[in-house]
Structure 1
Amino acid sequence: MFILSEDSQRTEGRDAQSSNIMAGKAVAESVRTTLGPRGMDKMLVDSGGEVVITNDGATILEEMDIEHPAAQMIVEVAETQEAEVGDGTTTAAVIAGNLLGEAEDLLDQDVHATTIVEGYHEAARIALEAIDDQVLDVEVDHDLLAEVAESSMTGKGTGGLTPAELAETVVTAIDHVSDDDGVRRDDVSVYTQVGASSSATDLVEGIVVDEEPVHETMPSSVEDADIAILDVALEVRTGEVDAEYAIDSIDQLNAALDAEESELRGYAEAIADSGVDVVFTTDDVDDRVASYLAGEDVLVYEDIGSSDVKSIASATGARRIGTLDDLDAEDFGHAERIRTERFGDDDLTFIEGGQAAEAVTVFVRGGTEHVVDELERAVGDALDVVETARESGEVVPGAGASEIAIADRVRSEAAGIEGRKQLAVNAFADAIDVIPRTLASNTGRDPIDSLVDLRAAHESEGRAGLITDREEVTIDDPVEYGIVDPADVKREAVESAAEAATMIARIDDVIAAE
């Protein structure tokens, strides 16, 4: 009796568990060498020849063509980490992979998968308590947030800028969009432009759009600008019906041309008479309208995309206008300055000041496309972790110190847990140790010796991490060196990694339809 299709493939029992665990471990291992300040980059080349060079865990896993369903769960761990807290994706993936490795050893010792899951859940609870105890009793001010941003970007590609220099820009951006109600993260954007060195990266108090004026004689800069956003085509109206008109004389032709000219001039006069200084329209602008408005020193941009229109409206306070009959100063937005600058072959428009100053843009520069892409990823992660730290007000020691404390706490409480579940709790602690071991390995130190030294320093000093200072790697208190991470990054990494590992460990039957 056939229940499944003859084309179906089924893997059961220990074989299914081994296959899934192996796939999860392979994915985690692929990003492990990117962890920490001495982590290495990966070059990813797709079938079309497009190249991505990065050490960002989320980007690496996203770009990899992963088909195995269990391995895809590890990718989802990184995606969740990125979406929730913006950083720690490599940490979460590596912990998840090592939890699977420890689970495999327990399965080989005939520990039931359900026992492993129960032990991991208990260990995760203890780990979260340990993270709470690691939270520093300090004020999360501008300087501390700069340390959080710098820690996030250390080891990532920041071009000619140091992480400290870039961190100041990031924190200033977050400060600009923060108030008593919280952080308006959506009001911070990152715009990249190839050309110049990364040291030309700047913070724009406003927004940047890839647009140029419709007429070359229009002003390149307007101060104290009133802004209108139009959903209007500033060109001759055409009927929806496909019709032909017969012209029998030159007088009729001139009359038609005069009517057309009068219509276009009417558009231009309505805009000029409204007192608006800058017009952004989502449709086309006839050259004659553009020429007339240029003579009136009105700056006009055409064919603005919906996302840019939304950004401009939000930044300037302008309302979208559907007809020129509705032109009203109450619908206009305002900016202290609108300017257009040329960068290589591109014209970019900067909308600054006024209500636009409620939004800010990190204008990232770099010599090549790969440099600006990696800078964009680094800045994006830093913005997210600074937002996370500011919102929660909680930071913990970095450089592996928190993981050493978590593992120590889990081991100490494992002694009070009865039965085989204790083995799973201890295995969880061993999996957490992979972070300081990997940090040590990526700096060139012996991972086992480093782990022993870190545990000893933790016992005697209470806080110990791997400090990378130029060519020297030492064991010391990371807080003294300004190496701190948001507590929520650690919590999310532990929770998501534990959930993924327990889900994969419980699978003992894989049915695949061809």
Structure 2
Amino acid sequence: MSERRGRGDTRFAAVATDDVGHLRGADARSSNVGAARAVADTVRSTLGPAGLDTMLVSERGSVTVTNDGETILKSMDVDHPAARVVVEVAKAQATAAGDGTTTAVLFAGELLRGADRLLDHGTPPAAVVTGYQWAADRLLDELDDLADLADPVDPADLDDPDDDLLRRVAETSLTGKAVEGHAGVLAGLVLDATAAVRVGRVVDLDYLELVARPGASAAASELRRGAVLDAGPVADSMPTDLAGARVLVLQETFDLPEPETEARVAVGTADGRGRLRRRETRRARDAADRVTDLGVDVVLCHERVDDRIAARLAARGVLAVEHLEREGVDLGFLQEVTGATAVSGSRHATRDSLGRVDVSREGSNGPLYVENPDGHGVTLVVRGSTDHVAAEVERAVSDAVDVVARTVRDGRVVAGAGATETELAARLRAAAPGVDGRPQLAVEAFADALEAVPTTLARNAGLDPVDALVALRAAHADGRTAAGVDIATGGVADATAAGVVQPAYVLEQAAYNAAKVASALLKVDEVISVGRREFETGAG
């Protein structure tokens, strides 16, 4: 495990520099390439099942241990403009594909490394950009061909939560992350969760929540067919164990109406204050009556519940939960879970606006589980021994959920373990002679960059990367398109047969995002540090 402290570590001098100054030509290029490569080197050791963890220490001393590339890069204090651009690659990859952030950043760094060598030997930047763009376009075609060679996701299998291919996709995504040998259990939960919110070939992730809970092994993770609410009942005497309960969802505060004018004016006298109290008591009783007359057993309020109303609801055995907006509970998600239609106030509630739920509580002070077997919303509760471990398991499961959702929608799957990158590199080299002029050299450099994935997988597993690459190239030359790095034996194995597969979309997006940022940085010929005042003056 390595430790990152940002500016204090000299390894990050190229990334965390405040003094870019004014650079031009080769100096600008060298600065940008160096910063981009430094970012890539930061996450290189985390790639693959044998990748190492990184300890992130904030300025306040809080510690996060992770091997998630996006988390590492988001936590870094990055000042160099080119480094920030590369960090954006990770964000774009996470948004578009949900996984593959480390691969995308590593690939971008290798593309810039290869470009730097070509430029040093006189290849114009425009020729490198042209070659990279040609290679990226060709890669997409070749990737489609390779995906056809793998077993595609059959729409008929989507109704089967135990579908073997989707399970292998989930397990591959979880491999090498902080799941403590429980990838199989978590993969099963991921499949159940995504199946519960799937309509056709679309997995609606808006209705799938992830919650991390410390204090147990990752194997104790579970899928809840509803919402998990940290907020407890408004009053301790309210019930928390209900079956088939009618639920009312309120968008706004469950409060008393404003006092009438005559009541407000009379509060200066003891008699007036007494009348006001009686009036408010009556309003609270009427508000509670409106709810109980509808047969409501549970009130879920996005905002506050008035104490006087809450007391009367408690006396009638009604559960009320308030301030759900503070928990970040989405109103749309809550409606999907409960089957209720949210209303602005109790006076707008009808029997048709109510839903049905089962309510239970974990212990006396634990979260409330509001569940509906027929609802469309689910919550995946992931466990870990500590807060840090639970958070890391949550990140791993979140990535797995994303890749399964993408696989269901896209349907293309390719071999993992560096097999697909090696095959794509071989095909690009074979096609390179068909490219005229200097861009041909860039196509070959693109192929070299692809092979950084299998060599890094081998290096992180303690294998000789050169020997691993030689063996892989020989296997692919023999037509073994799924041959990947076998970190257990140090040799070559059929990744697809071993169940190591990945969505083609993830690799496609990684290559696209990396090529895009590399091309953008190669076009930069001058870097000028502009002060805020100078920038604002010049902007006009």
TM-score bracket, normalised by the shorter chain, equals: over 0.9
- TM-score normalised to structure 1 length: 0.92
CA 394–233 in structure 1, closer or farther in 2 if over 3 Å, else same? closer
CA 328–354 in structure 1, closer or farther in 2 if over 3 Å, else same? farther
CA 234–432 in structure 1, closer or farther in 2 if over 3 Å, else same? closer
CA 422–305 in structure 1, closer or farther in 2 if over 3 Å, else same? same
For residues 128 and 224 of structure 1, the distance between their equivalents in structure 2, rounded to whole angstroms, comes to 52
For residues 234 and 124 of structure 1, the distance between their equivalents in structure 2, rounded to whole angstroms, comes to 57
Alignment correspondent of 1:30: 42
Alignment correspondent of 1:467: 486
SS of residue matched to 1:189: strand
Residue 189 of structure 1 deviates from its aligned partner by 1.4
Mapped contact 1:230–1:282 kept (Cα < 8 A) = yes
Residue 395 of structure 1 deviates from its aligned partner by 0.1
Residue 387 of structure 1 deviates from its aligned partner by 0.7
Cα deviation digits, residues 213-241 of structure 1 (max 9, x gap): 11222211111121112245445555699
1:138 aligns with 2:151: yes
Alignment correspondent of 1:429: 447
For residues 198 and 254 of structure 1, the distance between their equivalents in structure 2, rounded to whole angstroms, comes to 58
Gap regions ≥5 residues in structure 2: 1-18, 158-162, 532-540
Larger relative contact order (C-alpha < 8 A, sep ≥ 6)? 1
- TM-score normalised to structure 2 length: 0.88
1:203 aligns with 2:231: no
For residues 418 and 269 of structure 1, the distance between their equivalents in structure 2, rounded to whole angstroms, comes to 82
Residue 263 of structure 1 deviates from its aligned partner by 1.8
Residue 65 of structure 1 deviates from its aligned partner by 1.0
Matched to 1:359, the amino acid is G
Alignment correspondent of 2:177: 156
For residues 389 and 176 of structure 1, the distance between their equivalents in structure 2, rounded to whole angstroms, comes to 16
CA 48–8 in structure 1, closer or farther in 2 if over 3 Å, else same? closer
Task: From 365, 368, 376, give the equivalent of 2:383.
Answer: 365
Q: How many residues align?
A: 500
Mapped contact 2:240–2:368 kept (Cα < 8 A) = no
Task: From 39, 45, 62, give the equivalent of 2:74.
Answer: 62
Residue 277 of structure 1 deviates from its aligned partner by 1.2
Residue 285 of structure 1 deviates from its aligned partner by 3.0
Mapped contact 2:267–2:276 kept (Cα < 8 A) = no
1:396 aligns with 2:423: no
1:77-96 equivalences in 2 (<5 Å): 77-96=89-108
Mapped contact 1:320–1:331 kept (Cα < 8 A) = yes
For residues 294 and 436 of structure 2, the distance between their equivalents in structure 1, rounded to whole angstroms, comes to 80
Mapped contact 1:8–1:513 kept (Cα < 8 A) = no
1:1-400 equivalences in 2 (<5 Å): 9-135=21-147, 136-140=149-153, 141=157, 142-159=163-180, 161-180=181-200, 182-231=202-251, 233-237=253-257, 245-249=266-270, 251-305=271-325, 307-308=328-329, 310=331, 311-335=333-357, 337-342=358-363, 346-356=365-375, 358-400=376-418
User: What is the identity percentage for the equivalent residue pairs of Structure 1 and Structure 2?
Assistant: 40
Residue 342 of structure 1 deviates from its aligned partner by 3.3
For residues 433 and 489 of structure 1, the distance between their equivalents in structure 2, rounded to whole angstroms, comes to 16
Mapped contact 1:316–1:354 kept (Cα < 8 A) = no
CA 291–399 in structure 1, closer or farther in 2 if over 3 Å, else same? same
Cα deviation digits, residues 84-106 of structure 1 (max 9, x gap): 11111100100100110011111
Cα deviation digits, residues 62-84 of structure 1 (max 9, x gap): 11111111111111111111101
Q: Which moved more, 1:238-247 or 1:178-187?
A: 238-247
1:407-418 equivalences in 2 (<5 Å): 407-418=425-436
CA 408–218 in structure 1, closer or farther in 2 if over 3 Å, else same? same
Cα deviation digits, residues 251-273 of structure 1 (max 9, x gap): 55543332222221111122111
For residues 176 and 417 of structure 2, the distance between their equivalents in structure 1, rounded to whole angstroms, comes to 12
Residue 442 of structure 1 deviates from its aligned partner by 0.4
For residues 76 and 233 of structure 1, the distance between their equivalents in structure 2, rounded to whole angstroms, comes to 40
For residues 461 and 269 of structure 2, the distance between their equivalents in structure 1, rounded to whole angstroms, comes to 86
Residue 46 of structure 1 deviates from its aligned partner by 1.7
CA 165–468 in structure 1, closer or farther in 2 if over 3 Å, else same? farther
Residue 329 of structure 1 deviates from its aligned partner by 0.6
Gap regions ≥5 residues in structure 1: 1-6
Q: Which moved more, 1:193-202 or 1:484-493?
A: 193-202
Residue 248 of structure 1 deviates from its aligned partner by 4.2
Matched to 2:431, the amino acid is E
Residue 303 of structure 1 deviates from its aligned partner by 2.1
For residues 87 and 166 of structure 2, the distance between their equivalents in structure 1, rounded to whole angstroms, comes to 29
Alignment correspondent of 1:438: 456
Mapped contact 1:130–1:405 kept (Cα < 8 A) = no
Residue 417 of structure 1 deviates from its aligned partner by 2.3
Residue 354 of structure 1 deviates from its aligned partner by 4.3
Task: From 501, 506, 523, give the equivalent of 1:484.
Answer: 501
